[in-house]
Structure 1
Amino acid sequence: MVFPPRKFTTILDVARFTSRLIDAAMDHKEILDKRALPIERATSREPGQPLCMAQYYRILGASRLPGRKRDSQYVTPTPQKGDKPPDSEHIIVICRSQLYCVPVRAADRGRLTEDEICSQILYILDDAPCLSNIPPVGLLTGWKRSLWAEAREDLMKDDKNKRTLELITKSLLVVCLDEALPSTFNCRLQRGVCGKGHTAGIRDETNLFHQMLHGGGIGLNSANRWFDKTIQLIISGDGACGLCYEHSNAEGVAVIQLVEKLWNHADSLDQNSEVPASSHLPPPEKLEWVLEPSDRQRIEDAGQVLENLIKDLDFQVFRFTGYGKEFIKSCKVSPDVYIQLALQLAYYRLYGKLTATYESASTRRFRLGRVDCIRSATPEALAWVQAMSQPKEDDEMGNKKVTFHLVSDEKKHLLWNEAVIAQTQEMVDNILGLGIDIHLLGLREAARETSPTAASPLPEIFLDPSYRLANKFLLSTSQVATTTDSFMGYGPVEPDGYGASYNPKKESIIFCLSAFWSSEVTSTSRFAQSLEESLNIMQSLLTRPPT
């Protein structure tokens, strides 16, 4: 997630802004400890239904743990009502690959003030550049999970490493104090497609996003991460700031609400340029590692794998400025439904067919509900995109050339309305618990667990080629709306697929498009161009007077 860049003129500005984020996180944690978050309720489609709040309590203090066969989760136990809140809490700060443990609450002195946190951050910003040969252990968290699990098991054999790993796992969150990426990083975009373009000395939004997602590589900030941690707040010395979050504990909506709350708190306060008063607190603890030659080799191998993945990522932020949700609403269509159909049209214009499409649908109306899958590639969508993609025909009448469409506007409007109705119904069915994917997943896993032997075949439905094809999501999409001018994105889920998150604004739509350079069939530049053309011809259709 990328936030609007800050203006930092001194190292104190970096420390002060960071300390305000941490202080706001502590305010939020106190609300969680009291279990005082207000219950959210559905605002449409049977409005008033209470929504499950469990995800909100699994964000701070959570971490993903690698396993050889299956990963697990660590979640700090949330006090029940009436319980005493925890006596001590800490965060991890990473700067130039060096990890520091910063207590933010202690049994003997209570919670640190913003000034005290600021002093701790200033110490780290001053201390880390003086260190050399820091082992980039964080790279292991970007490795293949089974290999990282094996490496972690070996690290845990040493007591010092074990303590370090436990401190990281149990921390409230991780703060990454980064160096800026070069403005030329990943400049393989076609001219005119990227929202702001590349200008010497100025970092564009695509460049900023790469820093938040993966850090830029082993020579930049990728070792300045701990990718297992649910929340990593990222603040760069040049003012770039954002979030990298591990998805298994919570959906984007819950995380966005928390992080925007932190940023709004930090933004709402006047710039404080005063150096914090001398603190009686001891400096933050540098976390150390005891590494064998085999550990160092694993770190090197992990770094190379991550480096190759980063080089292969074809990503761009595309801001469509032709119109936004105000125009879409004037067409009496949900912005989400409209944009989903635009994605279908863009894909069809490129490939002459539709593909299994994933869109997340919140199922928080149910206890512990996460998401189900809105399948946007409906028969009605296919009929509409085919009509929209019919070529024009020309006819010579004397010296005058007449151009006409094979499908009339009236027919396109009719097919459009049918596609909108089908997409809307698909969305409503999913949020009300009538989707198919989570039910089928549960049945498949139950069949595996109840099979007499591991070799027993699954029921035929799960072995059928159509089931596999239906779950090969070459288009993975999600609406990630924000109240600030920020945006969130992710990578594709298939080697030949696209990731496409979107954030509808009043007069624009922000798309985060991803694919892999190694794919011979995908290209975010071509997809962005097709998407722009699709959105324009949709507006043209819906604003032309009926004939």
Structure 2
Amino acid sequence: MAEAHQAVGFQFTVRPDGVDVKLSQEVIKNIYLSGVTAWEKRAIQFKNGILTGVYPASPSSWLIVVITMMSSLYICIDPSLGMIDTIKDNLPHSLISYPNTDKAVLSAILFATGLWLFLIYLLRYTLKALLSYHGWIFESHGKMSTSTKVWLSLVKMFSGRRPLLYSFQASLPRLPVPSVDDTIHRYLESVRPLLDSEQYNQMEILATDFKNSKAAQLQRYLILKSWWGTNYVSDWWEEYIYLRGRSPIMVNSNFYIMDLLYLTPTHRQAARAGNVVHAMLKYRRKLERGELAPLRALGTVPMCSTQMERIFNTTRIPGIETDTVQHLTDRKHLVVYHKGRFFQVWLYTGGRHLLPSELETQFQRILNDTSEPQLAELKLAALTAGNRVPWARARVKYFSQGGNKVSLDAIESAAFFLTLDDEPQGYDPANTKSLDSYAKSLLHGKCYDRWFDKSFTLISYPNGKMGVNAEHSWADAPIVGHMWEYVLATDCFHLGYTEEGHCKGDVNKGLPHPTRLQWQIPKEVQQNVIETSYLSAKQIADDVDFHGYLFTEFGKGLIKKCRSSPDAFIQLALQLAQFRDQGVFCLTYESSMTRMFRDGRTETVRSCTSEAVAFVRAMEDAGATRSHCRLALFRKAADKHQHMYRLAMTGSGIDRHLFCLYIVSKYLGVDSPFLKKVLSEPWKLSTSQTPQQQLNLVDINKFPKYVGAGGGFGPVADDGYGVSYIIVGENLITFHISSKFSSPDTDSCQFGQHIRKAMLDIQALFKPENDKKTVEHTEHVQRENGKKHI
């Protein structure tokens, strides 16, 4: 036992002449180093708190202002316009005996401090006003107006230098509440292509009635909330969309992210896990100290970093009516699952992180452990995969005291959860189903070998591949993707491996062994709760039809040559594929971020527009439409999609506003048939783009094999598709397609083929145009060469 091993460091013997105490110097040294590290961390956090609190100014600027005020006293100039004298006259009576010179100095310091604080707020609110301007985002790609150039210059001027991760938080604008008229107008426009005339007229009547009767009252409450809170959407979105859901979060909510697509740095499972965990600890240290650079659009416009606070040490705690998100600080251990056993592994020794080689040693010890699972331990994590209410009740009844509570606390307070899987996964070019199996393993595994309540579960495979399963309530995919990019780059380019595939560094065999978590679980819990949760989760997992598809015919490079947005190109291809697959159009969800606003999360882009429908119908009407007409319709639909996406990013989306109006109506007991109808509409096609190259740590042009495969999520509708895609470099796009086997109308593999054909068919529209440009370019080169020859 590790406890027994550590106890050797302190021994005492009682003798007739007294007590003989022996202290281990090694233990004392470790205690000392641990304390020094803790105080260093507090000092750095305190310093960064000050730097962030006064940003975009700096603490040194206070000294400059004070010196300026003090200098004015000696040259008999009063820049305070008499305020320093006023302060001096109103100093406390206890200072009356002080000389006038001292009181003048004190008054000058007080005035300078007040002036300094005023200037900080002035700079901050000036920057907030500048960041509230979003006209730049609606300009054509590659073209920047003079006003936007001036605006960018001002933003750079007021943004300060060397910002920390959270420096811009106080300067970010609040998410605006759109007008009801605009939202309803855009909503009716979005459903027009999906409804026949009679259905549309009925919806228009409901919308008009809502606008003329109940909307104004609900809108007033929303505006009040937007003034009072930092974001009028995000807290309700987290609570009502995620935490109040009582169905299983596995597949229905959690998402996954894959490893590098083509490369595996080492095939030793313990070594790869050691490097990756160490890289995560380095990332966590930077995160806690605020040393990561804030993300910025155009390299200038800052994004909100709030979601990043809860990457580590976070767990979703089940409740009867609603779950809660528990976030702790400075957790020094993780919990590892392997073949039905739970192990606690300490991440620090002597006040420092365990080195990769030390972590490899610990994980290899777990892999070598041949002990059997305790009673009910094998499938214990299935509790987090099943319905939330049985798990919440079992947690209170059986895991709130004794050894079970200690072990559960160890899991829920861990930095994160690690599964050492026993079945290899990963992309295999020779196996067309390899990505499908890999995705299902990451999304649900065996339904009992991931702790789905943790902020994320890191999954390590015997062949060296890795992956992440993430809980969705605390943050969105770009946040986990940001961490994963840092981890993969650090693993491959900074930490590295020996020729034998082990982690670099000396092996420390003196570390205490990982400790088994102890459980005392009654048989009735195993039979009535754990097994029921497992069977429920397994039914969901077995129904997931996943297909991973690599589109290699072309990528972002060719699409940009067609003068089209890659995202709009893919979204229109998805509309064409959907129509060919189902024969009808459907309500389509595409997520966009709203992180240019404080505490922003996501908004919905309704990608199935009237313009998209017209383009798809033209593509399917072979006899009536010429190629150039189709191309014109494509450009019109792509421009419309881009405009909708930009509206969503700038706070003028439809769905979050309607969602919040609905929540207010439920609080007030106001019945609204219109809002009920809107919120009950199914999203049969749910799409999302996985961002990459957020950190630009790896030049994928120089290292084309060091690219990630992206990630995905489960189907949103029982008879629909979930599609996640990642635009990888210039020549590759990966698609992660999910549906349900139980639906006779969906087939993920078939949908992947529809996507491929749609992409090629759209690209073919540009061939005559591109061929003409190629000929013109060739003729131009020939003419230039002829001139040089002459």
TM bucket, shorter chain: 0.7 to 0.9
Residues 83-141 of structure 1: per-residue CA shift (max 9 Å, x gap)? xxx4x5111111112111112136x6443333332222122111156657643211111
Alignment map for 1:119-130 (pairs within 5 Å)? 119-128=361-370
Residue aligned with 2:745, SS: coil
Asked if residue 73 in structure 1 is aligned to residue 325 in structure 2, the reply is yes
Q: Take 2:428 and 2:589, find their aligned partners in 1: how far apart are those partners? A: 25
8 Å CA contact retained: 2:304, 2:598: yes
8 Å CA contact retained: 2:296, 2:302: yes
Asked if residue 291 in structure 1 is aligned to residue 291 in structure 2, the reply is no
AA aligned opposite 2:643: Q
Residues 405-448 of structure 1: per-residue CA shift (max 9 Å, x gap)? 21122321221121011100000001111101111111211222
Asked if residue 92 in structure 1 is aligned to residue 310 in structure 2, the reply is no
Alignment map for 1:3-402 (pairs within 5 Å)? 3-4=259-260, 6=264, 8=266, 13-43=268-298, 48-77=300-329, 86=330, 89-105=332-348, 109-128=351-370, 134-180=377-423, 196=429, 198=431, 204-215=434-445, 217=446, 222-268=447-493, 269-272=495-498, 273=500, 276-297=506-527, 298-390=529-621, 392=622
- How far 1:7 moved relative to its partner? 6.3
8 Å CA contact retained: 2:577, 2:755: yes
Cα distance 1:130–1:166, how it changes in 2: closer, same or farther (>3 A)? closer
415-424 vs 149-158, which moves further: 149-158
Q: Take 1:51 and 1:482, find their aligned partners in 2: how far apart are those partners? A: 16
8 Å CA contact retained: 2:425, 2:438: no
Cα distance 1:379–1:539, how it changes in 2: closer, same or farther (>3 A)? same
Residue in 2 aligned with 1:2? Answer: 258
Residue aligned with 2:519, SS: coil
Cα distance 1:111–1:508, how it changes in 2: closer, same or farther (>3 A)? closer
8 Å CA contact retained: 1:95, 1:177: yes
Cα distance 1:383–1:130, how it changes in 2: closer, same or farther (>3 A)? same
- How far 1:76 moved relative to its partner? 2.1
Residue in 1 aligned with 2:684? Answer: 474
Residue in 2 aligned with 1:401? Answer: none
8 Å CA contact retained: 2:556, 2:732: yes
- How far 1:224 moved relative to its partner? 2.0
Q: Take 1:89 and 1:205, find their aligned partners in 2: how far apart are those partners? A: 34
Residue aligned with 1:180, SS: coil
Residue in 1 aligned with 2:673? Answer: 460
8 Å CA contact retained: 1:97, 1:138: no
8 Å CA contact retained: 2:615, 2:637: yes
Residues 157-191 of structure 1: per-residue CA shift (max 9 Å, x gap)? 332111222221111111110011599xxxxxxxx
Where does the alignment leave 5 or more consecutive residues of structure 1 unmatched?
78-85, 184-193, 393-404, 452-456
- How far 1:467 moved relative to its partner? 4.8
What RMSD over aligned residues (CA atoms) do the two structures have, in Å?
2.3
Cα distance 1:91–1:50, how it changes in 2: closer, same or farther (>3 A)? same
Q: Take 1:507 and 1:278, find their aligned partners in 2: how far apart are those partners? A: 45
Residue in 2 aligned with 1:188? Answer: none
Structure number, greater radius of gyration = 2
Q: Take 2:374 and 2:399, find their aligned partners in 1: how far apart are those partners? A: 24
- How far 1:324 moved relative to its partner? 0.7
Residue in 2 aligned with 1:543? Answer: 767
Cα distance 1:416–1:389, how it changes in 2: closer, same or farther (>3 A)? same
- How far 1:155 moved relative to its partner? 2.4
Residue aligned with 2:301, SS: coil
8 Å CA contact retained: 1:444, 1:458: no
Residue in 2 aligned with 1:531? Answer: 755
Residues 315-354 of structure 1: per-residue CA shift (max 9 Å, x gap)? 1101112211111111111111110111011111222221
8 Å CA contact retained: 1:180, 1:240: no
Cα distance 1:442–1:115, how it changes in 2: closer, same or farther (>3 A)? same
Cα distance 1:160–1:426, how it changes in 2: closer, same or farther (>3 A)? same
8 Å CA contact retained: 2:546, 2:739: yes
Q: Take 1:226 and 1:167, find their aligned partners in 2: how far apart are those partners? A: 12
AA aligned opposite 1:115: S
8 Å CA contact retained: 2:603, 2:648: yes
- How far 1:195 moved relative to its partner? 9.2
Residue in 2 aligned with 1:512? Answer: 736
- How far 1:478 moved relative to its partner? 0.4
Residues 198-241 of structure 1: per-residue CA shift (max 9 Å, x gap)? 37xxx7222222211111x3xxxx32210111121111112332
AA aligned opposite 1:116: E
Q: Take 1:512 and 1:490, find their aligned partners in 2: how far apart are those partners? A: 8
- Identify, as 1 or 2, the structure richer in strand: 1
Residue in 2 aligned with 1:444? Answer: 662
AA aligned opposite 1:433: G
8 Å CA contact retained: 1:8, 1:237: no
* Paired residues, number: 492
8 Å CA contact retained: 1:181, 1:211: no
405-414 vs 316-325, which moves further: 405-414
Residue in 2 aligned with 1:399? Answer: none
Cα distance 1:461–1:94, how it changes in 2: closer, same or farther (>3 A)? same
Where does the alignment leave 5 or more consecutive residues of structure 2 unmatched?
1-256, 694-706, 773-790
Normalised by the length of structure 1, the TM-score is 0.85
- How far 1:20 moved relative to its partner? 1.3
Residue aligned with 2:357, SS: helix
Which one of the candidate residues 649, 671, 678 is aligned to 1:431?
649
Identity of aligned residues (%): 29
Residues 511-543 of structure 1: per-residue CA shift (max 9 Å, x gap)? 000000000211112211211111111011121
Normalised by the length of structure 2, the TM-score is 0.59
Residue aligned with 1:504, SS: strand
Cα distance 1:334–1:18, how it changes in 2: closer, same or farther (>3 A)? same
8 Å CA contact retained: 1:140, 1:302: yes
Q: Take 2:464 and 2:496, find their aligned partners in 1: how far apart are those partners? A: 17
8 Å CA contact retained: 2:269, 2:463: no
